[in-house]
Structure 1
Amino acid sequence: MPTVAWHTHWAGDTSAQQNPFLRASFLSTIEQTGVCSEGSGWQPEHLSLNDGNQTLWMPLYAKTHSWGEYVFDWSWAHAYEQHGLPYYPKLVAAIPYTPSLGPRTSQPLSAGQATTLASAIEDRVREQAYSGAHLLFPDGDTAGLWRQTGWAERCDVQFHWKNRNYRDFDDFLDRFSSRKRKNTRKERRSIAEQGLNLRCFEGTDINPEILHQFYVFYHATYLKRGRQGYLNRAFFDQLRAQQPETLVLFMAFEGNEAVAGALCFRDDTTLYGRYWGCLAEYNNLHFETCYYQGIDYCIRHGLQRFDPGTQGEHKVARGFEPTLTHSFHWLAHPDFRDAVQRFCDEEAEMVAHYRQQMIEALPFKATADGEQP
């Protein structure tokens, strides 16, 4: 008989886990550095399932707000408020501040285990008087299994780059129409014309000085928008110490002075663009640092996919393809549960239409039959 347990600290074994965000070092770091805590509104409430053969863990958090999730449910919270009901706290299965597709359990999930986990989460919601539970950005395998649980499924679109066995960046650009290809080359040339150059630092090559420079850029970018960055300096320092092999940092320099940076993660197949920062504005520097450098890196290292983060239609013109994402939602209140199901069904039609529009906007040359390659 499978047994479940709830934990306030991550202790799951993820030694076989490729995804950099589901490693024990990542999930422990965000707890130990205070990034995820009761005070930050991300109280760890992890779930473990022991079925006799293995113990499987799922990262969950009791949330007192919706910041840092990127599946926007503010309208649901407002509807609860209008009816005099509390929407927070809620239970969220996610990687904090990381809207990236990936597994959501420490070991591969079976259909039976998905059903057991969903049932245990629903029971927890009732016991703790949470408004509901939410599973955010599961990969395709996890989404396929969770679809059987009866939770409402919500879709959205991100823009990912896919490696079609390109030899180099020019080989990738050969897929573009002539006008779009010229525009991209012009953007890249403008970096050198402004006296800027880019350098890539990986793993232990990211020394404390370089990391400090990046952190200043990261934090300053949030301050420009009138708020603090989600992540503190201790988070970056500890992550560098515990899983340096997953870190890739693109830094822009004007002469010998660093002026901007983008910190990415990687595994054997994918580059994940996560954090960006700069102090001054330069033409096209964001595109070069956050997108073109990552594409170059993927081609050089044979990575199959570049996930540069959420939102941003400007990525389409640069060859990032519209990719469906999924989330799953279960609300304890039966009337709101039905309302959210209807909302998700209606929204899915609009998302499908939007995705098709973005496919048609891709810069690639049409094939003989008029379809995008």
Structure 2
Amino acid sequence: MTLQAQTLQVKAAPSLKAVPASAWDACAMGGANASGDEDPFNPFVSHAFLSALEEAGCVGPKTGWTPLHLLVEDDGGTLRGAAPCYLKSHSMGEYVFDHAWADAYDRAGGHYYPKLQVSVPFTPVSGPRLLAAHDPGGEVRAHLVAGLRALRDETGASSIHATFLQEQDLSALAARGFLRRDDQQFHWFNEGYGSFEDFLGALASRKRKAIRRERRDALANGITVEWITGSELREAHWDAFFAFYMDTGSRKWGRPYLNRRFFSLIGERMAERILLVLAKRNGRYIAGALNLIGDRRLYGRNWGCIEDHPFLHFEVCYYQAIDFAIARGLDRVEAGAQGEHKLARGYRPVTTSSAHDFADPSLSRAIEAYLQRERSYVSEIAGELAAATPFRSGTREED
């Protein structure tokens, strides 16, 4: 597909193999995408992460995630913008749930699939999606949006879904008629703490005591915890973690999305951006959590265990992440989708947003009415959650 306008051209690439990593990352990182308090380096939109998903076979036609990445080039062939885009034959692995929309549209005689998904597969982390680091006039983003709609028409897709958006991309899409959808996550904010005890000092006494008790109980039975990152990462660590991931994922979701090859690839390509938190008992690893490290944030991704111990999940996933963020001077810990239990552990409610565009006007009108009601509900719940944080009066209550 080619869309020509002025001096910019938009085309779709079926793989990142044809896109130089340096050119992709120059669009994805820094510049306008890092405005405000956003993270200048979001590891999930890096060429290393996305290409690892492709090369490991986690995405591809057989998985229902067919890559069709949009590229905006100037007349000289320089990449000016991009968007990680996939043609989907289902709605799994997205964390923004539209199964009810698909069912209703199919019952009405339409075909919801295929659809276009602008996202990082299997990753409920907000970040740049219209990758245009140097786009002060918004021209590159305008071409990306036009390219998405042209690609939707060419592929016969019902709709476009851009999920876990930063504000700049959300605004660009909303200005061009995309519908906004809001949801809730829980993030931990570093208020300049020098230690975990400093953080606990900001909590109400009862909550502070509860967390201390959980941390103590989690490490009973001789359990120790290790941080493994950078050159310390070995295949043996990935072997252990993959066993946890498969065991927990198979029981909880039925089919884990990531394979063993993927973890080796990101270990090879971005080891300095990876933190494995592994718990050990009696000389063997029994649980672990995978985190990715940005310039300002720590992103908790996957967890698994082969032994159940009280509060070990909270310790490995949440408290150790806070310890690491404080030690590294990071601003925030993003601990993944859902989970109101994070609130009692010092994580605060944060609104996440996505944008949706439908080829069928009747489907668009029905979903727009639904989203108006849903946004009101999410806003109301956000206020209630913000009032329930465990912090002492006088400390910051929300993002």
TM-score of the pair, normalised by structure 1: 0.96
Cα distance in 2 for partners of 1:30, 1:19 equals 16
After TM superposition, the structure 1 = structure 2 runs for residues 151-162 of structure 1, keeping only pairs within 5 Å, are 151-162=178-189
Select 2:12's aligned residue among 6, 17, 24. 6
| Residue aligning to 1:20 | 43
After TM superposition, the structure 1 = structure 2 runs for residues 213-292 of structure 1, keeping only pairs within 5 Å, are 213-225=240-252, 227-292=254-319
Helix, strand or coil at the partner of 1:238: helix
| Residue aligning to 1:76 | 101
Matched, 1:356 2:362: no
Helix, strand or coil at the partner of 1:39: helix
CA contact (8 A) 1:188 1:284 kept: yes
Helix, strand or coil at the partner of 2:310: coil
After TM superposition, the structure 1 = structure 2 runs for residues 74-153 of structure 1, keeping only pairs within 5 Å, are 74-108=99-133, 109-110=135-136, 111-153=138-180
| Residue aligning to 1:60 | 85
Query: Shift of residue 139 of structure 1?
Result: 1.6
Deviations 1:71-110 (A, max 9, x none): 0001100111111211110001000001101111443255
Cα distance in 2 for partners of 1:372, 1:272 equals 21
Query: Shift of residue 197 of structure 1?
Result: 1.1
After TM superposition, the structure 1 = structure 2 runs for residues 19-38 of structure 1, keeping only pairs within 5 Å, are 19-38=42-61
CA contact (8 A) 1:191 1:197 kept: no
Cα distance in 1 for partners of 2:165, 2:253 equals 31
Cα distance in 2 for partners of 1:226, 1:180 equals 31
Query: Shift of residue 51 of structure 1?
Result: 4.0
Amino acid at match of 1:4: V
Query: Shift of residue 55 of structure 1?
Result: 2.4
CA contact (8 A) 1:14 1:107 kept: no
Helix, strand or coil at the partner of 1:96: coil
Deviations 1:91-134 (A, max 9, x none): 01000001101111443255232222212211221222111101
Query: Shift of residue 256 of structure 1?
Result: 1.6
Helix, strand or coil at the partner of 1:345: helix
Amino acid at match of 2:15: H
CA contact (8 A) 2:219 2:312 kept: no
Cα distance in 2 for partners of 1:247, 1:105 equals 24
Helix, strand or coil at the partner of 1:341: helix
Query: Shift of residue 138 of structure 1?
Result: 1.4
Helix, strand or coil at the partner of 2:154: helix
CA contact (8 A) 1:60 1:94 kept: yes
Amino acid at match of 2:81: L
CA contact (8 A) 2:81 2:141 kept: no
Amino acid at match of 1:14: W
CA contact (8 A) 1:202 1:247 kept: yes
CA contact (8 A) 1:158 1:324 kept: yes
CA contact (8 A) 1:14 1:22 kept: no
Cα distance in 2 for partners of 1:249, 1:139 equals 26
Deviations 1:210-245 (A, max 9, x none): 110011010111122362210000000111011111
Between the two proteins, the alignment pairs up a number of residues equal to 371
Select 1:49's aligned residue among 57, 72, 78. 72
Query: Shift of residue 344 of structure 1?
Result: 1.2
Cα distance in 1 for partners of 2:159, 2:377 equals 25
Query: Shift of residue 285 of structure 1?
Result: 0.2
Cα distance in 2 for partners of 1:244, 1:105 equals 26
| Residue aligning to 1:212 | 239
Helix, strand or coil at the partner of 1:87: coil
Contiguous gaps of at least 5 residues in structure 2 = 1-5, 30-40
Cα distance in 2 for partners of 1:151, 1:223 equals 35
Query: Shift of residue 61 of structure 1?
Result: 0.1
Matched, 1:40 2:67: no
Matched, 1:299 2:326: yes
Cα distance in 2 for partners of 1:164, 1:28 equals 35
Cα distance in 2 for partners of 1:261, 1:54 equals 38
Query: Shift of residue 170 of structure 1?
Result: 0.6
Cα distance in 2 for partners of 1:336, 1:20 equals 35
| Residue aligning to 1:192 | 219
Cα distance in 2 for partners of 1:67, 1:299 equals 34
Contiguous gaps of at least 5 residues in structure 1 = none
Cα distance in 2 for partners of 1:342, 1:252 equals 47
